[in-house]
Structure 1
Amino acid sequence: MENDSTFVAPEGVYSVTEEYKPAPSLIHPITPSNPVHPTRLSHITVRFPLHKPAGAAPGFAQLLAKKPSPADREKDAVSHTSSDTPDEEPAESVAEPSLFGGRKGLKAPPRPKHNIRTTSSTFIARLQSAEGLAKTLAGKHGDTTFLFYNSAKSLIWVDVGSGSGSGAGAKEPLARLTFTAFPTCHDVHPATGSPERLDVIIGFATGDLLWFCPLSSRYARLNKAGCVSASPVTAVRWVPSSASLFLAAHADGSVLIYDTEREDAPFAPPEPPAHWNPLETIHVSAPPFPQTKAPAKNPVSHWRVTRGTKAVVDMVFSPDAGHLALISEDGCLRVVDALSGALVDCFASYFGALGCLAWSPDGRFILTGGQDDLLTLFAPWEARVVARAQGHSSFVVGAAFDPQRCDGRTYRFGSVGDDGKLILWDFSSGALHRPKSHTAHSHGSQSAAAHRFSVASTASLRGLPPPAWSSLGEKDGREGGRFHPAPGRNEVAVVQPVLVKNTGAELATGIAFLPRALLTAGKTGLVKMWVRPLAIRAKRGSVHS
């Protein structure tokens, strides 16, 4: 029953129903002097009004080149902010206190100022929009999932799951934005997304950052020409509780915090002291406070995470946005207090650098994959490794949890690797295998206790307490330092795959789960949507990502 467009998981058959292929002219030739940047996926589900009231202005007045009437403007102010009314109160979802002491919720969320269609910037090469885009967007209703992905020098925006007919087929994107530099990462703000705005931040190999709203075709450029940091951007994340703050990780081992409302200024971070140990602390610095009435400048803060040239590879916020997980080329997973920048814990990989990262929907586990061909599950607030997943035969480059199949007892996650495999895993007490050569007395009481807990306690995962780290990264009574070496293979329980699918010649670089589908991204920019089995869709189709 399986073929290139289907696979059979325990819950049923997944089938490719949509494909997104880059134009042949955009496929980036891979040479030693011209490296490829992995395709990354960012997605958001936006709820459009089910019915438009008679006489109401379209939600995309600017795109339709129609100026809203005063009555319509007043109606729009009740539910969504608009660039035509800069002093409106923000929506409730973005008026929460900022983690970093930024916006106080007194003004509407900021918007980028420059029109990308009329810009004279040489950094932006071209914007191509689908024919009738304004009409397509104005006709949306209900939940719509938008996907952004990078391919060569382009960022591509597509509408996921709106295709008609049966069988797999290629779809045209809503828009394609092409640059003169390579985009390396991107993130869409989960809190500010609405039918009237989408905030996307894009990082580049040149160090540049671009804040872009595809609905209004407006943008703002930060760290222009590397004026703050010339190091390539490796990951970007919006701060969930702020409308204007975001984090950018760099290849030089640093993380910078930016505010979209601030101008950039040259910044030379102080060097860490000679005795600084990156396995025990994060070196946090910030520009000097400006003189009275002088506007503050970017960056808001600078974190030195690793020593030397070990890049920060990726980062992700915990579901409660209180902590940040970071992975790096030095082979470490770091859990950081997001408010203070204090290091809570640092975990070593079994071998080599880490390449991908995910946090479980309930915040209990962190999943990593890397050059040891393994996926590792951490229980961070207990400072231990719970299990390792064995099944890949090369570097693991992408991993994600499936929120639709995580219930507090069983956790579904997926991964892709340089071995051309797409693997699904179910983590629960029944899925764990005790290491064959391990005994209770072989490595001392601490290792034995950790192993017994990793096997036995998963039967009662629902009863575990929620994360309870202190805001200052204190150890809450735990013994030892913040650095935790990797336990041996014989000390950790093992998770076996429930599905192994060969992705073929197109090596996958990314994976993401949507309420009704699974997405995979390939090195040349080919993105596939694997629709879930019908029974799962009918049962859980109303859950939002």
Structure 2
Amino acid sequence: MAAGHFGKTSDIKTQFTVRDGTYRQASRPSFDRIPRSPSNALRIPPIRASFLNLKGAASSSSVQERILFNIGRDLFFYPFPGLDKQVDVTRPLDKRVYKGTYPTCHDFNLMTRSWESVQLIIGFSTGPVQLMNPIRREVLRLFNEQTLIDKTQAMCIKWVQSTEAEFLVAHRSGYMYLYNAELPCSSHPPHYAVTKQSGDVIVSHNKSKGKNPVCRWRISQTGINQFEFSPNLKLVAFASQDGFLRVVNYETYEVVGQMKMYFGGLLCLAWSPDGLYIAVGGEMDVIVIWSVVDRQPVAQGEAHRSWVNVIRFDSYLYGHAGRRLSVWNDDGGGGGGGGGGSGDEDRDEGDEEEAVNHDGLLQPVKYRLGSVGQDAHLVLWDLFEEDLISGGVSSKSRSLLRAARQLSLHGRSFRTPTTVAAAAVANHIEAGNEELTVTATADSSSSNRVDGEDGSDSSGLVTLTASVMQELNAVSPLVNKRVSSDYVTDLIFREECAVIVSQDGAIRFWARPKCTDSIDAASDEGKQQDQPRTLAEQAGSNGRDDSPPGTVV
């Protein structure tokens, strides 16, 4: 997309107000002036960021967090002091410059991290994978160095969190490989023996024991854009360029569900914090919510004007942190957390009305979802229980949900269809069962899927045609704001902020409502002592360049 398609720079927002308060773009830390190596702008892969929280800090005053990101041929590793301090961009903890290839994806090993050492895996545009320790600036091992395993770009790379040494790499070829960091690669192209085939997924193991890769997954005839493990690490979901969402049991290799976009590739996905739903986005410019319980789509949202690059659930507003947003229809409006005045020009009108149903009852937000894309916009979505009920039984289920809220006002408990299904599927997965056949309705004793009536075939595959999309629950965006001068490549929700990364190299930190006051105070206090300096002034202050030398792959 050309830069002119993004509109005027003045359209870029620096704050917006939603139900839980006002989000503001923090002025610090800033990574805007990082010196970079020359790169071909047309070949630069998407810029991604990873955060690392170290264990065993030397003292309470030590900066325990790190941030790592790739820009062109460079890979940067910096301390992350939080939102109230600046970072000297001329002094990274480590910087790598690669020749002949670009870093495309990376992931930290959270199982073995410590103050002295951390394992980082990096995938490259030409296929190799590097294992290194950025704290000690050591390259530990190279995998697929001669591209005998796969010659295509590494698209997504992740450590297997249930182990300390295994990691997965997905490639543009449609294959995903399991590596063991302690094993060497074969000196010749590996040979495989098929272990399991389930639908389109074929899993094969390396015939050479004790060599990498341990096994190979054939997921798609086209590239794998992203894969993610479920919160309990038993299922893995794949978003591929052929438009498919595939959900596979990681232990048995069985395909337990799949869905296909009507056209275009599927670029991104995210699991809900409780593992009951998967949100996807891609080249159809819409987001779709897929139910793990029903194995079918239940909702869709239209807001983006171009491809959706990244989608994330905000687990700090629901799930792990145990917090839930709620809006009450009273004379005081609907603010759930304050932080923004009624005169804010960026307030989205109608937020309160959308959050309360036609009966005027309490409507808790079940999930907060964020998406970013090629249109340089950030879109936030609040999902309610009513949005996640499949269309065929929505009438009675919606009535039950309204009754549940009414009873909750009088201090009485009520098990809604969704909560019953949630408990059932959690127990089902924990028991190790492969098939998920629990129905998320209280008025039907059979599955909601009827062949031919909902776009599904005899195998349960649902294709999102125009008619199927019209039958899904329509979700309205909570916020739709332009936040960048270039298309957005990454979105990360943290406890204190949301991190937005764009292809021009800008990394923006949006402070949550509870942090905005402290950020403003810190900004005022540091104006005198943190006057911005040019890179030439910063370099001249010490008379030398302290950036570590680059590594050539």
1:163-242 paired onto structure 2 within 5 Å = 164=84, 173-180=92-99, 181-219=101-139, 220-242=141-163
Residue 262 of structure 1 deviates from its aligned partner by: 0.6
Other structure's SS at 1:392 match: coil
1:300 corresponds to which of 211, 214, 225: 214
Give the letter for the 2:23 counterpart.
Answer: Y
Give the letter for the 1:8 counterpart.
Answer: T
Indicate how the Cα distance of structure 1 residues 289 and 208 shifts in structure 2: closer, same or farther if over 3 A, else same. closer
> Which position in structure 2 is the counterpart of 1:8?
17
Contact kept? 1:451, 1:492, Cα under 8 Å = no
Contact kept? 2:285, 2:306, Cα under 8 Å = yes
Contact kept? 1:254, 1:305, Cα under 8 Å = yes
> Which position in structure 2 is the counterpart of 1:99?
none
1:288 corresponds to which of 207, 218, 228: 207
Indicate how the Cα distance of structure 1 residues 339 and 6 shifts in structure 2: closer, same or farther if over 3 A, else same. same
> Which position in structure 2 is the counterpart of 1:449?
393
Give the letter for the 1:158 counterpart.
Answer: Y
1:415 corresponds to which of 371, 380, 383: 371
Deviation string 1:175-230 (CA, Å, 9 cap, x unpaired) is 32221210111111232223232221110011100112112222211111212221
Other structure's SS at 1:224 match: coil
Indicate how the Cα distance of structure 1 residues 377 and 452 shifts in structure 2: closer, same or farther if over 3 A, else same. farther
Residue 448 of structure 1 deviates from its aligned partner by: 2.2
2:71 corresponds to which of 125, 145, 151: 151
> Which position in structure 1 is the counterpart of 2:287?
375
Give the letter for the 1:425 counterpart.
Answer: W
Residue 324 of structure 1 deviates from its aligned partner by: 0.7
| Structure 2 Cα separation of the partners of residues 451 and 170 of structure 1 | 56
Give the letter for the 1:312 counterpart.
Answer: I
Give the letter for the 2:260 counterpart.
Answer: A
Residue 300 of structure 1 deviates from its aligned partner by: 0.7
1:253 corresponds to which of 174, 177, 194: 174
Indicate how the Cα distance of structure 1 residues 514 and 447 shifts in structure 2: closer, same or farther if over 3 A, else same. closer
Give the letter for the 1:16 counterpart.
Answer: Q
Residue 19 of structure 1 deviates from its aligned partner by: 2.5
| Structure 2 Cα separation of the partners of residues 182 and 451 of structure 1 | 52
Indicate how the Cα distance of structure 1 residues 7 and 157 shifts in structure 2: closer, same or farther if over 3 A, else same. farther
1:385-400 paired onto structure 2 within 5 Å = 385-400=297-312
Other structure's SS at 2:393 match: helix
Would you say how many aligned residue pairs link Structure 1 and Structure 2? 424
Taking only aligned residues, the RMSD between alpha carbons, in angstroms, comes to 3.3
Contact kept? 2:49, 2:67, Cα under 8 Å = yes
Other structure's SS at 1:362 match: coil
Stretch of structure 1 that moved more, 517-526 or 189-198: 189-198
Other structure's SS at 1:283 match: strand
Stretch of structure 1 that moved more, 310-319 or 264-273: 264-273
> Which position in structure 2 is the counterpart of 1:41?
49
Residue 452 of structure 1 deviates from its aligned partner by: 7.0
| Structure 1 Cα separation of the partners of residues 127 and 104 of structure 2 | 10
Tell whether 2:244 aligns with 1:349: no
> Which position in structure 2 is the counterpart of 1:86?
none
> Which position in structure 1 is the counterpart of 2:7?
none
Deviation string 1:39-90 (CA, Å, 9 cap, x unpaired) is 11222323444748xxxxxxxxxxxxxxxxxxxxxxxxxxxxxxxxxxxxxx
Indicate how the Cα distance of structure 1 residues 9 and 254 shifts in structure 2: closer, same or farther if over 3 A, else same. same
> Which position in structure 2 is the counterpart of 1:315?
227
Indicate how the Cα distance of structure 1 residues 7 and 303 shifts in structure 2: closer, same or farther if over 3 A, else same. same
Residue 454 of structure 1 deviates from its aligned partner by: 8.8
Contact kept? 1:344, 1:482, Cα under 8 Å = no
Indicate how the Cα distance of structure 1 residues 26 and 522 shifts in structure 2: closer, same or farther if over 3 A, else same. farther
Contact kept? 1:285, 1:303, Cα under 8 Å = yes
> Which position in structure 1 is the counterpart of 2:62?
140
Residue 286 of structure 1 deviates from its aligned partner by: 1.0
1:483 corresponds to which of 441, 458, 461: 461
Indicate how the Cα distance of structure 1 residues 496 and 246 shifts in structure 2: closer, same or farther if over 3 A, else same. same
| Structure 2 Cα separation of the partners of residues 193 and 455 of structure 1 | 49
Give the letter for the 2:232 counterpart.
Answer: D
Give TM-score, length-normalised by structure 2: 0.69
Residue 321 of structure 1 deviates from its aligned partner by: 0.8
| Structure 2 Cα separation of the partners of residues 533 and 372 of structure 1 | 32
Other structure's SS at 1:297 match: coil
> Which position in structure 1 is the counterpart of 2:543?
none
Stretch of structure 1 that moved more, 238-247 or 332-341: 332-341
Give the letter for the 1:227 counterpart.
Answer: L
| Structure 2 Cα separation of the partners of residues 267 and 454 of structure 1 | 57
Name structure 2 gaps, 5 residues minimum: 1-9, 325-364, 405-415, 439-446, 450-457, 519-553
Give the letter for the 1:45 counterpart.
Answer: N
Tell whether 2:31 aligns with 1:20: yes
Deviation string 1:124-156 (CA, Å, 9 cap, x unpaired) is xxxxxxxxxxxxxxx616xx3322211101122
Residue 267 of structure 1 deviates from its aligned partner by: 3.5
Residue 486 of structure 1 deviates from its aligned partner by: 2.5
Deviation string 1:310-369 (CA, Å, 9 cap, x unpaired) is 101101111111111111001011111112322221111243211111111221211111
Tell whether 2:384 aligns with 1:428: yes
Other structure's SS at 1:449 match: helix
Contact kept? 2:231, 2:273, Cα under 8 Å = yes
Indicate how the Cα distance of structure 1 residues 9 and 450 shifts in structure 2: closer, same or farther if over 3 A, else same. closer
Stretch of structure 1 that moved more, 454-463 or 499-508: 454-463
| Structure 1 Cα separation of the partners of residues 211 and 66 of structure 2 | 32
Contact kept? 1:227, 1:264, Cα under 8 Å = no
State the identity as a percent: 24
| Structure 2 Cα separation of the partners of residues 155 and 165 of structure 1 | 22
Tell whether 2:475 aligns with 1:495: yes
Contact kept? 2:54, 2:65, Cα under 8 Å = yes
Tell whether 2:179 aligns with 1:264: no
| Structure 1 Cα separation of the partners of residues 268 and 314 of structure 2 | 15
| Structure 2 Cα separation of the partners of residues 520 and 186 of structure 1 | 17
Deviation string 1:248-306 (CA, Å, 9 cap, x unpaired) is 00111011000011110134456989xx998x24111111254xxxxx10111111111
1:520-539 paired onto structure 2 within 5 Å = 520-534=500-514
| Structure 1 Cα separation of the partners of residues 202 and 218 of structure 2 | 5
Stretch of structure 1 that moved more, 229-238 or 171-180: 171-180
